[in-house]
Amino acid sequence: MAEAKPPEAGSRPEREGIATAWAREELEALAARGLRRFLEPLESAQGPVVRAGGEALINFSSNDYLGLASSPTVRAAAMAGLERHGVGTGASRVVVGDTAAHQRLEARLAAFERAEAVLLFNTGFAANTGIIPALVGSGDAVFSDALNHASLVDGCRLSRARVIVYPHADAEALARALKETPARRKLVVTDTVFSMDGDVAPLRDILAACREHGAALMVDEAHATGVLGARGAGLCEELGLGAEVELRMGTLSKAFGCLGAYVATSRAVADLLLNRARPFIFSTSLPAALCAAAEAAVELVEGDAPLRERLWRNIRRFSAGLRALGLPAEPRSAIFPVILGDPDQALEAARRCRERGLLVKAIRPPTVPEGTSRLRFCLSAGHTEGHIDFALEVLRQLGVRRGG
């Protein structure tokens, strides 16, 4: 009997499986609602101008806020780390995946954050889904802003604690919920800069509510690190609250231009997470070369004030231009949403921007609430005044306005 040949790559089997039928049904439903997503590979390095689909496009969709993803200094550090440590680490850090590069980066980040200790994670999602369940569980309560990032939402769910969602940025509602909720332990979690709207949390008021009601506070500084603060250490630094916020999560994948995440905290909390945070314990560690690259990026962020000043000049210029078009746009962060309404409107606006050489992606539910599909503009220190003015002119030509 002849041996059956495996199907060729890309071909469909003669009889589709049950899971495939489920998938097709769900994909058709997503497409009907304008919510199906597709991948589009870049043909160039990350930067203010990229190539995709054979075109050069001005890129306003990247979280590379300081333009460090393609920095020669960061690249050189990665190459040196690669030569010294190789590519993979072979295991989690609690086995044999720890290296001198991981230790150096944690020490450098602790100095940057002025924290007693830092613990690295592979991604911001891994950090948030590891930290929260390690700190609270059954019998506890966790309080989460209604517009928190999905990783915080999932971390709350995985903790098995009671989850109380308070209205967005409403510190008074949070205080009432803290007062009314009995629990063994209470943990409040919030973004500092909200990733889809670019607004900032009322951190002083949130911290006051936590103190009054005996709650711990964890903040996600992913979109604030490298952008806010005198040295780029985030909203906590900008408000002078770094020493008072006990758990500060930051990412290495945005303003630092690399990959990974960390929590700046006390030595005791870091040691507990090392023993309890499942994404840390059960994941192969970050490649040491990326740790070396991130260490170089931290040096640039903290030591190069003009780099951050260029970013803020661009933020203020874009904000003023949006307001001149009648759009609400306060210069609070590097993120500016242009809210259009339904998914089809956002997709059509993104398509028309693309035709004119502007890469700005449509953001749709479930990433944002129903009825708030949008174009999400992200500013970078790498953008020129010409890039910014061109984007504003495209929006003017398209007649883009709030809600339409």
3-class secondary-structure state, position 24 = helix
Distance of CA 171 to the CA centre of its chain: 23
pLDDT of 243 strictly over 50:
yes
Is the pTM for the entire model greater than 0.85? yes
For residue 176, the tally of other CB atoms under 10 A from its CB is 14
pLDDT of 349 strictly over 50:
yes
The catalytic residue among 85, 213, 223, 361 is: 223
Distance of CA 257 to the CA centre of its chain: 12
pLDDT of 178 strictly over 80:
yes
Please calculate the CA angle 253-254-258 and round it to the nearest 5 degrees: 35
Q: Which domains are assigned to the chain?
A: 38-69+305-398 (3.90.1150.10), 89-286 (3.40.640.10)
Return the pLDDT at 304.
85
Return the pLDDT at 4.
43
Q: Lowest-confidence range among 12-21, 204-213, 367-376, 387-396?
A: 12-21
Residue 81 tokens, joined: 């780390």
Return the pLDDT at 402.
53
85 given a catalytic annotation? no
Asked if 258 and 290 touch (Cβ cutoff 8 Å), the reply is yes
Crossing angle between the packed helical segments 305-324 and 288-303, to the nearest 10 degrees: 80
Percent of the chain with pLDDT over 90: 93
pLDDT digits (tens, 9 = 90+) for 112-144: 999 999 999 999 999 999 999 999 999 999 999
223 given a catalytic annotation? yes
3-class secondary-structure state, position 375 = strand
Asked if 223 and 63 touch (Cβ cutoff 8 Å), the reply is yes
Residue 243 tokens, joined: 């020493």
Q: What is the DSSP letter of 265?
A: E
198 vs 257: CA distance, rounded Å: 19
Helices and strands (DSSP H and E) totals, the chain: 14, 13
The strand pairing partners of 164, in sequence order, are 143
Q: What are phi and psi of 282, to 5 degrees?
A: -110, 20
144 given a catalytic annotation? no
23 vs 9, 26, 38, 39, CA distance in Å?
A: 19, 5, 15, 17
263 vs 366: CA distance, rounded Å: 27
Dihedral sign (CA 209, 212, 217, 219): positive
pLDDT of 316 strictly over 50:
yes
Q: Lowest-confidence range among 172-176, 218-222, 263-267, 303-307?
A: 303-307
Residue 284 tokens, joined: 């192969």
Return the pLDDT at 400.
76
26 vs 19: CA distance, rounded Å: 11
3-class secondary-structure state, position 45 = coil
Asked if 312 and 328 touch (Cβ cutoff 8 Å), the reply is no
Residue from 191, 253, 208 nearest 64 by CA: 253
The catalytic residue among 254, 361, 383, 387 is: 254
- Amino acid symbol at 89: T
- Give rounded-to-5 percent helix, strand, coil for the chain: 40, 15, 45
Q: Using DSSP bridges, classify how beta strands 216-220 and 247-251 pair: parallel, antiparallel or unpaired.
A: parallel
pLDDT of 263 strictly over 70:
yes
Q: Using DSSP bridges, classify how beta strands 373-378 and 335-341 pair: parallel, antiparallel or unpaired.
A: antiparallel
3-class secondary-structure state, position 305 = helix
Asked if 192 and 226 touch (Cβ cutoff 8 Å), the reply is no
Return the pLDDT at 127.
98
Average model confidence (pLDDT) across the chain? 94
Residue 325 tokens, joined: 């078009």
Return the pLDDT at 399.
86
3-class secondary-structure state, position 175 = helix
Distance of CA 291 to the CA centre of its chain: 18
pLDDT digits (tens, 9 = 90+) for 353-383: 999 999 999 999 999 999 999 999 999 999 9
The catalytic residue among 195, 253, 319, 333 is: 195
For residue 366, is the peptide bond before it cis, meaning its omega torsion is within 30 degrees of 0? yes
Give the pLDDT band of residue 1 (cuts 50, 70, 90): very low
Rg value, the chain, Cα? 22
361 vs 371: CA distance, rounded Å: 17
User: Helices (DSSP H) in 114-193: which residue ranges?
Assistant: 124-135, 150-159, 171-180
The H-or-E segment that residue 58 falls in is strand 55-59
